Amino acid sequence: MVEGLEMICFQIISNVGTARSSYIEAIHRAKDRDFEGAKQCLKAGQEEFLKGHEAHFELLQKEAKGTPVGGSLILIHAEDQLMSAEGFKIIAEELIAGYRQMEALEKRLEESGK
């Protein structure tokens, strides 16, 4: 088993948990038409996600080189959190695009006098 596995797992969980929170905040900001704030939240989330992804990739590289990583509930949880954060990023990007389209349509309607 990899030495310090638990710490690596907690690092992944912490980083991607922060990323997921940033993605959710981005959705809220976009809903409030704060698209610049949403963009900043996505950027912050991506930075944290990459930290977690790098730690996870380190474990995968060790396993590929023949160093047994070891299976544990905490590793499964870390991977689950990693995938969850990635899913939230995709959802956030799609919702923000939708809110931008809605705002553009609303502006066009206002400009046309309807």
Catalytic residues: 77
Cα 38 to Cα 45: distance, rounded to the nearest angstrom: 10
Q: Do residues 43 and 10 make contact, with C-beta atoms less than 8 angstroms apart? A: no
CA 76 to chain CA mean position, Å: 17
Other residues' Cβ atoms within 10 Å of the Cβ of residue 6: 14
Cα 51 to Cα 56: distance, rounded to the nearest angstrom: 9
